[in-house]
Amino acid sequence: MQISIDSHSGFCFGVTRAINAAEQELRHGALFCLGDIVHNGQEVARLEALGLQTIDNDDLRSLPPHSRVLLRAHGEPPSTYWIARQRGIEIIDATCPVVKTLQDSIRACYEAHKNDEPLPPQIVIYGKPGHAEVIGLQGQTNNTALVLESPDQIDRLDFTRPIYLFSQTTKSVEGFNALVEAIKAQCTMHNAQLAPFEYHDTICRNVANRVAHLRAFAQSNDIVLFVGGAKSSNAKVLYEKCVEANPDTIFISSPDDIDKEILARCQAVGRVGICGATSTPQWLMERISERLSAS
């Protein structure tokens, strides 16, 4: 069995930056993180062993003044900053700069158009409802933005009103383009020349640029172990790309997921590739490689 780890997989710079911030701040005392710092249970457990305490929004409301709370790369809605100010909580803001720019763009669009007459605008986010980043983006519009997951849902839009479309950073470019084409077709059908449709491809290229490489990596191996957290949107997108390139791709989250059947499948072939998402730590892929080598 020849095992290789994809050199392009692993944390993106936004996640690396947030984790570095957590490690740095933990040296100065107690630190809370609002939500899982990364959608990878193994990495969360490693940081919790160093002292990081993961909290939810209810916990935030009951923290004592001067508590220190790290905001992860996904970003937060304005209400989180407001609560922190009210309670005298110190925020360590590790929002990814790419997400921050997107939040600012959506807020600027909302502020510029919220009072437009006679056609009130619709701000639309292509993303996963309830995802932390999407909640932060909706917050920029006073929670008025619509969230669409696929072109099948465009009947929720009013094509006689202006539409301003943005994307969650980790969605797929193909999916975004399909949604744009579906909306354009409906605008034409509704003869909606007076109601503009503006779209902004705000997908992070740290994710999108990995796809071509990941496809090539998947094709160059007989079997692929894709390592990702069950809650990671980015892992879902990249795993699907791997499966398209090599149907012999298996999603796992930890070395413990390598059962007898997976092991037998790996041993039956020559080349085993290990890759992962922008939320997958390098050390975890290495542990999986070690587990395979030791079997």
Residues in touch with ligand SF4 (CB under 6 A): 12-15, 73, 96, 98-99, 169-170, 204, 206-207, 278
Min separation Cβ 134 and ligand SF4, Å: 12
| Nearer to ligand SF4 (CB atom), residue 9 or residue 278 | 278
The Cα 121–Cα 184 span in angstroms is 16
Min separation Cβ 18 and ligand SF4, Å: 8
Min separation Cβ 237 and ligand SF4, Å: 10
Q: Which residue is nearest to ligand SF4 (CB)?
A: 14
Classify 110 as helix, strand or coil: helix
The Cα 229–Cα 252 span in angstroms is 8
Min separation Cβ 155 and ligand SF4, Å: 30
What dihedral do alpha carbons 132, 232, 99, 276 form, nearest 10°?
A: 170
Min separation Cβ 12 and ligand SF4, Å: 3
133 is catalytic: yes
Sign of CA dihedral 93, 60, 45, 74: negative
Strand order across the beta sheet in which 90-93 lies: 52-55, 31-34, 68-71, 90-93
Active-site pick, 90, 133, 174, 244: 133
| Nearer to ligand SF4 (CB atom), residue 132 or residue 145 | 132
Classify 4 as helix, strand or coil: strand
Classify 33 as helix, strand or coil: strand
The Cα 136–Cα 172 span in angstroms is 19
The Cα 142–Cα 114 span in angstroms is 10
The Cα 108–Cα 69 span in angstroms is 27
| Nearer to ligand SF4 (CB atom), residue 104 or residue 290 | 104
| Nearer to ligand SF4 (CB atom), residue 222 or residue 240 | 240
Min separation Cβ 185 and ligand SF4, Å: 29
| Nearer to ligand SF4 (CB atom), residue 96 or residue 274 | 96
The Cα 202–Cα 39 span in angstroms is 21
The Cα 2–Cα 269 span in angstroms is 9
Which pair of tokens denotes residue 20?
A: 């570095």
| Nearer to ligand SF4 (CB atom), residue 253 or residue 278 | 278
The Cα 60–Cα 245 span in angstroms is 43
- Which of 136, 102, 275, 115 has the alpha carbon at shortest distance from 205? 102
Q: Which residues are catalytic?
A: 133
